[in-house]
Amino acid sequence: NAAEALERESAATTADQWSPFMATDGRTLRVSCSLEPVFELKTFGRIGFRMARRVLVVGTDEPLPPSALANLSRADLLRIDLATIARGLDRLKSAENAAREPSLIVPLSYVTLSNQRARDQMSTALKSASSVVKHGIICDICDIEGVPQVALLSAVSLIRPFSLFVVGRLVTTPPMSSTLAQLKNGGLNALSFDCPPHGSESEFVEWAKATIEAAKTVAKPVLAYGAGSAREAGMLGLLGATHASVRN
């Protein structure tokens, strides 16, 4: 109806407010966001969606890898976080996703959460996101590797009032022992990681087993994003992962 169309138009306008934008290094970047269903692997019941984002260079559509994202300025990362939420909500409110989902997994930069002003902006966006799902928001904090334990615990404590659970995203998998030591007692409820491209099934199993076992030394819940198929998701469950998403 007209009211729903107006609401979708408003969401798109909000997204356009943040992306595309000129980064501090002079490149023009845009944020692309899709929704991946996330399943609890014991029952394969859907717990909601995760916002799977890519940051692209306008003109070439080259995606920025995690290492390049980590080198962006605090202001750039905040815009990316806000654009992700705006675009994800636009997708969630569309006709094909009209039913209220149980939860929504939102990626956030640690750098954003470590700044009071940026954190205030994010809390407003997270409250808006929380209003469109049944149970609430799960915050998935990126760029945590190398963050001092005390600083991580502080950031997690400040974001906890706005989220059901706080998850820490691993980039290096399997994680190094120094990373695991730093993440222990950092206040995280779970750890997550992306499934990288792999060759044979045996290579995938070897990588997944080592990664999941290492992650479980920090937190029992382990979320594996972007499995290549339902079969791979099932294998991740057998190896100890608790939740998984499958690439679109």
Secondary structure of the chain as H, E, C letters: CHHHHHHHHHHHHHHHHHCCEECCCCCEEEEEEEEEEEEECCCCEEEEEEEEEEEEECCCCEECCHHHHHCCCHHHHHHHHHHHHHHHHHHHCCHHHCCCEEEEEEEEEHHHHCCHHHHHHHHHHHHHHHCCEEEEEEEEEECCCCCCHHHHHHHHHHHHHHCCEEEEEECCCCCCHHHHHHHCCCCCCEEEEECCCCCCHHHHHHHHHHHHHHHCCCCCCEEEEEECCHHHHHHHHHCCCCEEEECC
Those residues with Cβ within 8 angstroms of residue 73's Cβ, 6 or more apart along the chain or in another chain: 23, 24
pLDDT, position 101? 76
Encode pLDDT of 54-80 as tens digits.
Answer: 999 998 989 998 888 888 999 999 999
Name the more confident of 168 and 95: 168
Those residues with Cβ within 8 angstroms of residue 173's Cβ, 6 or more apart along the chain or in another chain: 193, 196, 207, 211
pLDDT, position 20? 86
pLDDT, position 162? 83
Contact 84, 32 (CB under 8 A): no
Encode pLDDT of 80-132 as tens digits.
Answer: 998 888 888 887 777 455 567 788 899 999 988 888 888 888 888 888 888 77
Encode pLDDT of 178-234 as tens digits.
Answer: 999 999 989 999 999 999 877 788 999 999 999 999 999 999 999 999 998 889 999
pLDDT, position 90? 80
